[in-house]
Amino acid sequence: MTCLAVAVFAGGRAHADQTRQPTPAEMSAAAAAGVAQRWERTPAGTIFPASIGYTTDLMTNETASRVGINPNDTCASALDGTLRALAAHDGCVAGLRADYADQLRGSIYTLGVLAFPSPARAAGFYKKIPLHAYPAAGLNALAVPGTPAALFTDAARQAAAAQLAGPYVVLAVAGYSDGRLANAADERRASVFDPASQLVAAVAAPLARPLAVRCGSAEWACVVSDDPIPPPPALAQVRPDDLAMLRQIGVPGAWRITRGAGVTVAVLDTGVDTSTPDLVGQVTTGPDFTAGADPAGYRPPMLHGTYIASLIAGHGSGPGDQFGVVGVAPLAKILSVRVILDDTEPGNPVYNGDSRYVDAVGKGIYYAVAHGARVINMSLGSEQPTAYMRAAVAYALAKGIVIVASAGNDGTNSGFAPYVYPAAFTGVIAVAAVTGGGQRAYFSEQNGAVVVSAPGVDVIGDGPGGEYLDAAGTSPAAALVSGVAALIRSRYPRLSPALVEQALITAAARRPRGGYSTGTGFGEVDAVTALAAAARLAAQRPAAEFAPAAYFTASSRAHGAAAPIQVVHRDMMSIAGYTAAAGAAALGCLVALGLGLVLIRRQD
């Protein structure tokens, strides 16, 4: 799954939510005003369930059991020095920790929940968590005495995980139950402690759902106490900010040639809100390959998918579509196929743990090919490829479909990051994220799969319900490249996926030293020069096939079959004289040779 770091300023709704009394439909949101009181009204055993299911790296379903809860936690006691001051700065008001042991009792997980005054404060803290530090840091190990977790100390923390859940942040640290110290050479760390993220997701899911409250009751307040949210920028300001990003990759110039008409881009994602003003009339909705993961009756937010679709094919809104978000290919159509869940959906543990959803992405690819997609965007990824996904990618490429995918958001400054699929499959255009200045974004993964890069920081797009999102990640970067691919496909529909990729590569701007780097690929995509490169490639004609009966020399084709090649020039008269003399000598040689053979045999 994928995971987009989204900071939502939420257009007009955020400002309105703070300045008006909530409607009946918004009563549950008022619970954020008293998040610290949740501990007083919700049993700790409900927050930390007695057992949590998870899936191992061998795809077996197991259960982690709770072995103890700390009854006297605070924000300060739950965190170590790497996060304690940061949590205090963001207003952490309550903390709670519990220890879990895996089914084999060989791994220990300390889970922690931190409460903040508002979702915005929680999000601010969450962005600062150093998840990739080693040894793991952040949450203090609990080490409940007299339990399998007793030996798990801070020095034994091998891995960490975290997830944002409304006004809460759920964290975990993991290690061996034998208390062995963290060792950077322990190559089994990822496979042994992968369940940490699944346990975090299980605890986070119910916390992300606001409690049902009665507005004005003695127990809960209805007005969120938070830093004032300024009125959102006028709708007219969204377009200038959007266009500034599009100019970075040459899109306005490309619109003089094409705006993507006649091309369908399949967005394999969390679903698209078809009522979004900037996308009205652009979207066809396909099947939901995640059906059954979320609880019955739950309506998915479709946040990530709507955002991605708007970057590709948003057409703007308002009078004459002069306002809102316009995508790279505003005349292209979107085929939305839901294959993953947004991070906040309660069905994530089921989706990640149930084998029914292993091939969801691959099924989405097959569906997109069968229903007219000419470009497939996958702003998603996993480090665990499947044969089914690979086969689906191969099938789509064979059918002439351009496939674009995000390179992943787990990059560091230390270099190589693990491959993410489908981006790492050959033939897929893997996209890294860069800043407005063209430098690799700190989170963008570095590896040999990266082909090109595109803006991935402070990218404005649509959210569901008329909201606007300001987001960062390789997800928006991939969407922008899919939009450029749609422009190429619109102008040159017969250009093969390999040649579309060549056009993007040869036309890339801000090329790195040496021509290629694992951080930004061959450089930053440029729509104008990519269309020019595509024009040159489309004009080229492959050499005529060479007939099997033809000869390689021009002279033979012009004058018929060539005469035998004379290798040595010979004096035939001299040869005749020498032949006679050689005949007599040859007889003597043959006799001598015969005697020699006999003598040799006798010596044996």
- Residue 127 is given by DSSP the state T
Instruction: Give the span between the Cα atoms of 387 and 381, in whole angstroms.
Output: 15
Residue with tokens 């679709």: 309
Q: How far is CA 587 from CA 345, 594, 595, in A?
A: 100, 11, 13
Catalytic residue, candidates 304, 342, 382, 444: 304
Spatial separation of the C-alpha atoms in residues 100 and 391, rounded to whole Å: 39
Of 242, 269, 273, 342, which residue is the catalytic one?
Answer: 269
Taking each continuous run of H as one helix and of E as one strand, the counts in the chain are 19, 18
Asked about 315 being catalytic, the answer comes back as no
Angle at 403 between CA 407 and CA 434, to 5 degrees: 35
User: CA–CA distance from 550 to each of 229, 555, 556, 564 (Å)?
Assistant: 78, 12, 9, 17
- Whether 508 and 437 have beta carbons less than 8 Å apart is answered as no
CB 516, CB 508: distance < 8 Å: no
Quick one: DSSP state of residue 545? Answer: P
Instruction: Render the burial of 362-375: b for 16+ CB within 10 Å, e for the rest.
Output: bbbbbbbbeeebbb
Which structure tokens are listed for 561? 């079959």
Active site residue 517: no
Cβ atoms of 476 and 463 within 8 Å: the answer is: no
HSE (side-chain half, CA atoms, 13 Å) at 418: 10
DSSP 159: E
99's torsion region: left (phi>0), alpha (psi -120 to 50) or beta?
Answer: beta
Structure tokens at 171: 């964290």
User: CA angle 34-38-42, nearest 5°?
Assistant: 155
- My answer on whether omega of the bond before 422 falls inside 30° of 0, hence cis, is yes
Residue from 475, 482, 490, 526 carrying the catalytic annotation:
475
Mark whether 304 is an active-site residue: yes
Quote the tokens at residue 539.
């004009």
Find all residues with CB under 8 Å of 144, minimum gap 6, and list them: 67, 68, 70, 99, 150
Distance, C-alpha 555 to centroid of its chain: 57
Q: Which of 382, 381, 396, 389 is nearest to 427 (CA)?
A: 396
Phi, psi (rounded to 5 degrees) for 385: -75, 160
DSSP E strands in 407-482: the ranges are 429-434, 450-455, 459-462, 468-472
For residue 139, the 8-state DSSP code is: B
Q: Quick check: 137 and 130 in contact, CB under 8 A?
A: yes
Rg (CA), the chain: 33
Residues noted as catalytic = 269, 304, 475
